[in-house]
Amino acid sequence: MTGQTELLTRRAQLLGPSYRVFYDEPVHLVRGEGVWLWDADGKRYLDMYNNVPCVGHCHPRVVAALTAAAGTLNTHTRYLHEGVLDLAERLLGTMPAELGHVMFTCTGSEANDLAIRVAKAATGGTGIIVTANAYHGVTELIAGMSPSLGVGVPAGPGVYVVPAPVAGGKDVGERFADGVRAALAHMFEDEIKPAALLVDTLFSSDGMVCDPPGFLAPAVAAVRAAGGVFIADEVQPGFGRTGVMWGFSRHGLVPDLVTMGKPMGNGHPIAAMAARPAVLENFGKQARYFNTFGGNTVSTAVARAVLEVIASEGLLENAATQGAYLLAGVRSLGSTRFGNTRGAGLYLGVDMIDANGAPDAAAAKRVVNGLRGRGVLIGAAGPHASSLKIRPPLPIDRAAADFFLSALADTLAELG
Amino acid sequence: MTGQTELLTRRAQLLGPSYRVFYDEPVHLVRGEGVWLWDADGKRYLDMYNNVPCVGHCHPRVVAALTAAAGTLNTHTRYLHEGVLDLAERLLGTMPAELGHVMFTCTGSEANDLAIRVAKAATGGTGIIVTANAYHGVTELIAGMSPSLGVGVPAGPGVYVVPAPVAGGKDVGERFADGVRAALAHMFEDEIKPAALLVDTLFSSDGMVCDPPGFLAPAVAAVRAAGGVFIADEVQPGFGRTGVMWGFSRHGLVPDLVTMGKPMGNGHPIAAMAARPAVLENFGKQARYFNTFGGNTVSTAVARAVLEVIASEGLLENAATQGAYLLAGVRSLGSTRFGNTRGAGLYLGVDMIDANGAPDAAAAKRVVNGLRGRGVLIGAAGPHASSLKIRPPLPIDRAAADFFLSALADTLAELG
């Protein structure tokens, strides 16, 4: 806890009122390596939360690529350079052939903002469908499509909010599509032309809803039938989180636009949007696009290194294997405080419930803080903040998974 | 020109229709050091254009800070860390005491987008005033405040476009304020409450208008009297470009909100918004703000290194000294093709005119491409694309300045 009070005071003074910290006792981190983090007192934490350092904290190969590139040239896409083209080619190589172009930004927010601009230009529409507790980013446009930011940040013009799919619910896909069809009917009544369905293909901030794979298809079909496009927000599911490269492929879908960010540079600010060429065409006619740092020589070298590490270390396979082990391990704890438990690769969602089966945010908070005390970092999410969010870097091994399961068992025992 | 055609073909295929390159013969860069760049054929270029690598391309101290930080910990502001606080403190130390908080983003676009959200929350207004050829960024919100993107990207709702100040014009400040007052009157008629005047304090994309220092004050006073705030977009002028740290101080003003970006990380994606605490208060009540990469441990280490280099190498003084030398040198060429010539530190604007004194975009283009052939990179800007934009990294020395002046003289001679 060295200097924690002082740091919190300085934060409030310097950064102002919009910043938040995690945990009742915030963590003061000073070092990271692989799936481990250390605080200023030398205490070690197993990182079961951060999806950004997807190949592990401070991966030496990624740091080496960053160092080499930053020492050679750091400049932008208005000069020719191969790096941005090689990265675009590799990214497209991981996607269905229908996706033909990539544009680079620095953040997932910028990628989603761009995708909405592109969707509007492609369709001539302005209506956007998002889920009830969605989070897609922080620009004014995208904050207006992120109901999880709370009532202080209302939905923007043309934004229609639909019920999120329910983890463990009945007829998940058809019920979700019912909501989407109702929103399309409201757009029609309002004389708003549909532009896009924008969803995180793992519904992370809605509490993580992954099953059954394929459930998104009827909703996407309804949007396309109404003239809108499907934007897969892969900022959370992308880059192997689910044990496959992209979350949309779990649903058997080929999106019109794909956005990606967080894990793309293992912490380095790079993000992107992939597009079907026909969908990008109108935007290209109307607007040039230049993002000063987006696709620069350094960022693209880092992102290439991340893709190489994912492949060379077999991290998709590891995510699938260790994810299944973790899910089985969580379930085997047999806690009466668990409602639905689910996982897709290394993204697990566990609903905490009370004795009546109702969402229990207080219990989730106690588990999150209890694990923090035991040296394990996780988070909570969902509409009631009652779903545990378990999402380690992809190279987690069996020993670390067991460490987590043991700490979780102890925390649950304490919870009673 | 090794492989240039192939690279252009791959770009169009992979990146799609919204990307542009500089120069009739695009430059394929492979290395940078100080104020120099090298292409794939080993040809050397003097960089008289790029303001992003403000302390010089690949500055070893900045690269070392990046490497050390990236190898230690790369994580975000929801954990405690001192780096983001130290940076905020140092930045605020370069500004008037009224500016008390800093929030971090990754790009100038995100910083301007956030500033508009904050201005709206602070004033309850939605009316925004920008100049006729302004460029402030690429989010949908900010693209709608960037008329320089062309007719394909129309002004957004509540955006009022005013005539830019005229370089070398009469009564620059009063005439600019007249336009701002007219826009405020139109807002009043339209029942739109004013939120902000958003200007680049160097009016870069309007052709660079810097004189007389102080001319912005009457317009800012008019906006404040109408209940709006003043957002100084320092993405171009900030970090010493004009020979002082911030462009707003040349105008004797203390902004309500300050946005910054491009040179802040010498190419690393970091940007920020500084605010008067009272102006940030309402936004803080309404919204939390989290930018995954904004203010992370690595970005903030890089930005601190940039500030240290600016101080330790005396780059503000160098910008003032070499800028004055360059401006005098350009004027001493006595070209009849030059209209108004102006400079503020290391940002020079030179209007190219034809025999009748009219803006001459073709001549500007010939100079830009002629200099490229002679190994010097500059650009053109302004409403007619007829103003030369000369803007080297801050550590330029006398010999490099002479190299530029000699190449410019040769290019002008060829122009006739």
Element (H, E) at B44: strand B44-47
Burial of B5 (0-12, 13-18, 19+ CB in 10 A): exposed
What is the structure's pLDDT at A4?
86
Is beta strand B387-390 parallel, antiparallel or unpaired with respect to B379-381?
A: antiparallel
* Among candidates A8, A18, A269 on the partner chain, residue whose Cβ is nearest the Cβ of B106: A269
How distant is the Cα of B119 from the closest Cα of chain A, in angstroms? 12
From B31, B277, B298, residue closest to A73, measured CB to CB: B31
Give the model's confidence band at B3: pLDDT under 50 very low, under 70 low, under 90 confident, else very high: confident
Label residue B250 by pLDDT band (50, 70, 90): very high
pLDDT at B4: 86
What average pLDDT does range A247-266 have in this prediction?
98
- Spatial distance between the Cα atoms of A259 and A236, rounded to a whole number of angstroms: 10
What average pLDDT does range A221-246 have in this prediction?
98
Helix (H, G, I), strand (E, B) or coil at B42: coil
pLDDT digits (tens, 9 = 90+) for A180-217: 999 999 999 999 999 999 999 999 999 999 999 999 99
pLDDT value of position A268:
98
Confidence of residue B416 (pLDDT cuts 50, 70, 90): confident
- Cα angle B356, B359, B362 (rounded to 5 degrees) comes to 105
Q: Are A234 and A257 in contact (CB under 8 A)?
A: no
Mean pLDDT, chain A, integer? 97
Per-residue pLDDT at A2 exceeds 70: no
Determine the average pLDDT of the residues in A401-407: 98
Which residue from B minimizes the CA distance to A276?
B16
Q: What is the mean pLDDT of residues B309-320?
A: 98
**Looking at chain B, how many residues does it have?**
416
- Cα–chain center distance at B92: 19
Check B15 against A84: CB less than 8 A apart: yes
Chain B residues within 8 A of A299 when measuring between CB atoms: 269
Tens of pLDDT, residue by residue over B140-190, are: 999 999 999 999 999 999 999 999 999 999 999 999 999 999 999 999 999
The pLDDT assigned to A249 comes to: 98
What domains are there in chain A, each with its CATH number? 4-55+314-415 (3.90.1150.10), 60-312 (3.40.640.10)
pLDDT band at A416 (very low <50, low <70, confident <90, very high): confident
pLDDT in tens, B76-88: 999 999 999 999 9
- Cβ distance A73 to B32 less than 8 Å, yes or no, reads yes
Among residues of chain A, what percentage have pLDDT more than 70? 100
B59 contacts in chain A (CB < 8 Å): none
Q: What is the rounded distance in angstroms from the CA atom of residue B121 to the CA atom of residue B285?
A: 9
Radius of gyration of chain A (CA): 21
Confidence of residue B396 (pLDDT cuts 50, 70, 90): very high
Question: Please, are residues A184 and A196 in contact by the beta-carbon 8 Å criterion?
Answer: no
pLDDT at residue A1, rounded to an integer: 53
Between B11, B14, B80, which is nearest A28 by CB?
B80
Q: Give A298's contacts (C-beta < 8 A, 6+ positions apart).
A: A66, A69, A70, A74, A268, B267, B268
Q: So what's the pLDDT on residue A131?
A: 98
The verdict on a CB contact (< 8 Å) between A88 and B19 is: no
3-state secondary structure chain A: CCCHHHHHHHHHHHHCCCCCCCCCCCCEEEEEEECEEEECCCCEEEECCCCCCCCCECCHHHHHHHHHHHCCCCCCCCCECHHHHHHHHHHHHCCCCCCCEEEEECCHHHHHHHHHHHHHHHHCCCEEEEECCCCCCCCHHHHCCCHHHCCCCCCCCCEEEECCCCCCCCCHHHHHHHHHHHHHHHHHHCCCCEEEEEEECCCCCCCCCCCCCCCCHHHHHHHHHCCCEEEEECCCCCCCCCCCCCHHHHCCCCCCEEEECHHHHECECCEEEEECHHHHHHHHHHCCCCCCCCCCHHHHHHHHHHHHHHHHCCHHHHHHHHHHHHHHHHHHCCCCCEEEEEEECCEEEEEEECCCCCECHHHHHHHHHHHHHCCEECEEECCCCCEEEECCCCCCCHHHHHHHHHHHHHHHHHHC
A122-181, pLDDT tens digit by residue?
Answer: 999 999 999 999 999 999 999 999 999 999 999 999 999 999 999 999 999 999 999 999
Nearest to A409 by CA among A362, A365, A376: A376
3-class DSSP assignment, residue B82: helix
B297-312 vs B60-70: helix crossing angle, rounded to 10: 160
Question: Residue range B53-79: average pLDDT?
Answer: 97
Q: Which residue of B has its CA nearest to A93?
A: B14
Answer whether A289 sits within 8 Å of B14, measured CB to CB.
no
Distance CA A287, CA A283 (A): 6
Q: B43-57 burial string, b = 16+ CB within 10 Å, else e? A: eebbbbbbbbbbbbb
The b/e string for A268-299 (b: 16+ C-beta within 10 A; e otherwise) is bbbbbbbbbeebbbbbbebbebebbbbbbbbb
How far A174 CA lies from chain B's nearest CA (Å)? Answer: 33
Q: Report the alpha-carbon distance of residue A16 to residue B102 in Å, rounded.
A: 7
Cα distance between residue A145 and residue A128, in whole Å: 8
Distance between CA atoms of residues A119 and B23, nearest Å = 31
8 Å CB contact of A58 and B76: no
Alpha-carbon span A53 to A127, nearest angstrom: 34
Mean pLDDT of B368-386: 96
Provide the pLDDT for residue B2: 57
Adjacent-strand bridge partners of A379:
A389
What are the chain A neighbours of B18 within 8 Å (beta carbons)? 103, 280, 283-284, 287-289
| The pair of three-digit structure tokens given for residue B372, joined into one six-digit string | 């490229």
B80 interaction partners in chain A (CB closer than 8 Å): 4, 7-8, 11, 21, 26-29
Task: Mark yes or no for CB contact A16/B284 under 8 Å.
Answer: yes
* Global ipTM: 0.97
Q: What is the DSSP string of B326-375?
A: HHHHHHHT--TTEEEEEEETTEEEEEEB-TTS-B-HHHHHHHHHHHHHTT
pLDDT of the residue at A3: 81
Nearest-Cα residue of chain A relative to residue B296: A267
Among partner residues B28, B100, B110, which is closest to A81 by beta-carbon distance?
Answer: B28
Residue B38 has pLDDT above 70, yes or no: yes
What gap in Å lies between CA B2 and CA B4, rounded to an integer?
6
Q: How many CB pairs under 8 A join A and B?
A: 326
DSSP B163: P
Scored b (16 or more CB within 10 A) or e, B138-174 reads bbbbbbbbbbbbeeebeebebbbbbbbbbbeeeebbe
C-beta atoms of A292 and B262 within 8 A: yes
**CB-CB under 8 Å, A109 with B107:** no
Cross-strand bridge partners of residue A230: A197
Distances (CA, A) of A122 to A44, B154, B228: 50, 16, 36
Query: What radius of gyration, in Å, describes the C-alpha atoms of chain B?
Result: 21
Nearest to B49 by CA among A204, A131, A168, A78: A78
